[in-house]
Amino acid sequence: MATVDARGLSCPQLVILARKAIEAGQFPIEVLVDSVTSRENVRRMAEKAGCSVAVNEMGDEFSLTLTRR
């Protein structure tokens, strides 16, 4: 289990952090973001990288759970 707190970060930093966590391979990975754009970018990158993505909405923020497909 790994957590990436990408709240307050913008592209590409947050995608890069999430990508590094995927490469490190400690699944499941929880990624915290604070915008719809960030959520979509992490989700699309993770799906491209072969992960399944579950999204939880928490007010204005989102938690994405990435698991290996």
Partner 1 sequence: MGPEALAQVLRPLRGMFPPERFPRLLVGLEVSDDAAVYKVSDDVAVINTLDFFTPVVDDPYDYGAIAAANAMSDVYAMGGEVVLALNICGFPPDLGSEIVAEILRGGAETVREAGGALAGGHTVEDPEPKYGLAVMGMVHPERILTKGGARPGDILALTKPLGVGIITTAAKADAADPADVAGAIVSMKRLNRDAARLAQEAGVHACTDITGFALLGHALEMAERSGVRLRFDFERLPFLDGATRYAEGWLFPGGTCRNESYFGPRVEFSAGIPQEIKQLLFTPETSGGLLLALPPASAEAAVMAFSAAGHGFWIVGSAMDGEGIRIA
Residues that bind partner 1 (CB under 8 A): 10-12, 15-16, 19, 37, 41, 44-45, 48-49
Nearer to partner 1, 23 or 60 (CB): 23
Which letter, b or e, does each residue of 19-57 get, where b requires 16 or more Cβ atoms within 10 Å of its Cβ? bebbeeeeeebbbbbbbeebbebbbebbeeeebebeeee
- Six token digits for residue 37: 């754009």
Nearer to partner 1, 44 or 68 (CB): 44
Nearer to partner 1, 37 or 67 (CB): 37
Shortest Cβ 44–partner 1 spacing (Å): 6
The tokens 């490469």 sit on which residue? 23
